[in-house]
Amino acid sequence: MMESLRNFLTGPRLFIVIAACALPFVFLGTSSLGSTFQPSFGSINGENISEADMQAASNTVAQRFKSVYGDDFDFNELDESIQLETVKQELISQKVLLSEARALGFINKETTKQVKKSIIRNPAFQPNGVFDEDAYQARVNAAGYTKDSYVDMMTNIMASELYRLSIASSNFVTDVEVRELAQILEQSVDINFIKLDSQLLNQQIENSEEEIRDFYNNNQIMFFSEEKRSFKYLVLKPEDYKNLVNIPEGYVENAYKEYLSNTGERLEIRFSHVMVEKANYASNEAAYQKILNAKDELNQGISFEDVVMAYSDDIVSKDSGGDLEYFDADIFPQEFGGALEGMNVNDISNIIELDDTFHILKMTEFNESEVMTLEEMRDDIVNDLINSESIALMNDDYDLIDEMIFSNESIESVSQSISKTLGEASAKVASNFNFEIDDFRVKDFVFSPDSEIDVPVAINLDDSIIVISLTAIIEPVLQDFDEVADEANELLSNNKTVEKRNLLVSELDMAKEENTLQSFFNAYDFISEESFIEVKRYSSLLPKEVISEVFKTAPGNSVTINTQSGDVYIVDLLSFNKPSLESIDTLYDQYNNFSEERVASSISSIVNEDIFESARVNLNNMVF
């Protein structure tokens, strides 16, 4: 099975490689792991773990948390033990898959070719809508990579993901399985239930001032103020340096000349192909006859798209008429470049032979960049220089500040040396850190137990730099009763609500047995009784905790359920109702798709389990 899988995924068929690899993930900016002085953190299945691997795994995990809990979720606020464990699990997954992918030969020139294509199409490297080599180099260098090492890293990721998907992708289900699943999930229940509304109960509780004061005195730990911290700071922004940038004489004219010299390279050629793979045929001659037949049909006027469908072995581009998108000399074979040279739109090439394949190319688009005049380019040239030089000047000050901090200079000295005005922030609290710069790294430093008074630190925030120095730490103190009386009253009411709710639930159970429930309904407006029929699993009539528990209960039984809102439901399950055959027929297509996803998910779980069982882990010194 593995051999056939390997044959399927190597060579030209690697056009199937997923574009879903998150190429910009190395720029997410989560905490770095480990020490810069440590070249290796050990190995997993023989694959070395570098600091870059640790950073990549950390970023991947952080992004996964954001996808679940929202963009505001801060991975760095989790307990360090949780961060380390999740990063470790990600490393095991990545490296086991990589070792298997390497063993099967998935890391090859075709995978690298697909990575380069993905990089060229990545918007992160297209500041003006087209791929910019300088922007690419700047971004990957900023992330700690060279251009080549970034390609190597992404090749490993793509090969690993390709291996995972290839063994986990299965979506075969039978008609019987689909209908059985629909019958289970579309069944409904009839229930009677008693509801105790905690919010209404809470509203009816009244506390005397004496009770509130006693609660305050007995629970003083709950009424201490938050720790407060004050600090001085200064902020460096690129725009602060724009007026300091000088435009060298002749710079604009020289930049325009360079632009003109590159204009000839700014051609976009889109093309399609028919591909015949030699390995699929008994001999090279048989493969050549196949591509020759395709060429004959094209000469007879049959459309290129129809010939692709009939003859091409490229299963990825086949459905799009053989489209290979835009030509790039660094990605495609030089034979393609030679064939496309001199062709016009809709022209079709002669047969091209490569080591493993035969091809026929068709040019579908030819776009030549419009050449702009010097006056049209002047402002852009000047602005680009000012923007880049202002960042460079800011970074020069950053280096100076770094040296001064290393020499134990104060933030006042730093401020004077770079002529920046100091700002002050007083009595800030962690729960409501209202500060002009909304960045978790600033908050983390201010409230870190390791931050010391009058010891400045410079934090690079990517688009700016902030220098901060704590000036005061105001320890928590017990707040006066009058300041927190309302809070104490609310907490006392909540405690009483829980106590009374638990007591009432016990009494309700007893009243059900004695058939005296009506007395409760008459006495308490926060207790009610209702009956629902044909309640389905996805119903919004009841809290999800109630729905979930009801469908685990056998008819004739009673179950008591506490919900997240604090309400309590005592549910009697009367009966289950099967869906009609007509309703199953109506929903068949939806459940067929769902069943396929379910099977694929199950196989993926098995694969993941096998990954961790087969991992040979040898990690050391994994710390933040």
Residue 176 belongs to some domain of the structure: no
Mean pLDDT by 10 residues, the chain (624 residues): 31 31 34 42 81 81 80 79 85 84 84 83 76 78 79 86 69 75 88 96 95 96 95 95 92 86 67 92 92 94 94 86 84 88 91 93 83 87 91 93 94 94 94 90 93 95 92 96 96 96 93 90 94 91 92 92 94 93 86 66 58 69 54
Q: Are residues 361 and 417 in the same domain?
A: no
* C-beta of residue 230 within 8 angstroms of C-beta of residue 428: yes
> Within this chain, do residues 63 and 152 fall inside the same structural domain, yes or no?
yes
Q: What is the pLDDT of residue 590?
A: 81
Q: What is the predicted pLDDT for the residue at 549?
A: 93
**Domain limits for position 295:** 267-368
Does residue 238 share a domain with residue 387? yes
Residue 444's beta-bridge partner residues? Answer: none
Same domain? For 389 and 453 the reply is: yes
Q: Got the DSSP string for 522-573? A: HH-TTEEEEEEEEEETT-SSS-HHHHHHHTTSPTT-EEEEE-TTS-EEEEEE
Residues 44 and 66 in one domain: yes
Identify the CATH number of the domain in which residue 283 sits: 3.10.50.40
Q: Are residues 394 and 508 in the same domain?
A: no
H/E segment holding residue 273: strand 267-277
297-338 pLDDT, tens digit per residue, is: 999 999 999 999 999 988 778 888 999 888 877 788 889 988
Place of tokens 């604009």: 252
Report pLDDT for 263.
63
With H, G, I as helix, E, B as strand and everything else as coil, classify residue 204: coil
User: Does residue 232 share a domain with residue 218?
Assistant: no
CA–CA distance, 87 with 90 (Å, rounded to integer) = 5
Domain boundary among 474, 499, 530: 474
Burial class (CB in 10 A: 0-12, 13-18, 19+), 362: buried
503 and 547 co-located in one domain: yes
Among all chains, which residue has been given the structure tokens 């470049």?
337
The total number of structural domains that make up the chain = 4
Q: Which residue type occupies 532?
A: F
Spacing of C-alpha 430 from chain mean position: 26
Cβ atoms 217, 211 nearer than 8 A: no
The 10 Å Cβ neighbour count of residue 298 is 18
Other CB atoms within 10 Å distance of the CB of residue 389: 17
**pLDDT at residue 622, as a whole number:** 57
Domain containing residue 557: CATH number: 3.10.50
- Asked whether residue 31 is assigned to any structural domain, the reply reads yes
Pair (202, 167) in one structural domain: no
CA distance 424 to 420: 13
**Helix, strand, coil percentages in the chain from 3-state DSSP, rounded to 5:** 55, 15, 30
User: Considering 456, 474, 492, which residue would you say is the last residue of a domain?
Assistant: 474
pLDDT of residue 614: 65
Kindly state the tokens that stand for 363: 């040019």
CA atoms within 13 A on the CB side of 288: 8
Please tell me whether residues 490 and 465 are part of one structural domain. no
Q: Name the nearest CA neighbour of 342 among 276, 289, 269.
A: 269
**Contact status, residue 400 vs residue 417, Cβ threshold 8 Å:** yes
Residue 425 lies in a domain: yes
Same domain (yes/no): 414, 556: no
Q: Output the pLDDT for position 18.
A: 29
**Residue 24 near residue 124 (C-beta atoms within 8 A):** yes
Phi, psi of 80 (to 5 degrees): -60, -35
Cα 251 from chain centroid (whole Å): 42
250 assigned to some structural domain: no
The pLDDT score that the predictor gives to residue 78 is 82
pLDDT for the residue 100:
82
Q: Is residue 595 a part of any domain in this protein?
A: no
Predicted TM-score of the model (pTM): 0.51
pLDDT at 376: 87
CATH number at 140 reads 1.10.4030
pLDDT value of position 450: 92
7 contacts: CB under 8 Å, gap ≥ 6: 279
In a domain, 194, yes or no: yes
Residue 453 carries which DSSP code? Answer: B
Final residue belonging to a domain, choices 474, 507, 532: 474
- In which residue are the tokens 């023989």 written? 46
Enumerate residues 6+ apart whose C-beta is below 8 A from 47. 95, 98, 99, 102
Does some domain include residue 592? no
Distance CA 113, CA 332 (A): 8
Residue 133 CB: number of other CB atoms within 10 A? 11
State CA 570 to chain mean position distance.
41
In a domain, 589, yes or no: no
Residues 494 and 362 both lie in one domain: no
Which tokens sit at 77? 């606020």
Whether 243 and 388 have beta carbons less than 8 Å apart is answered as: no
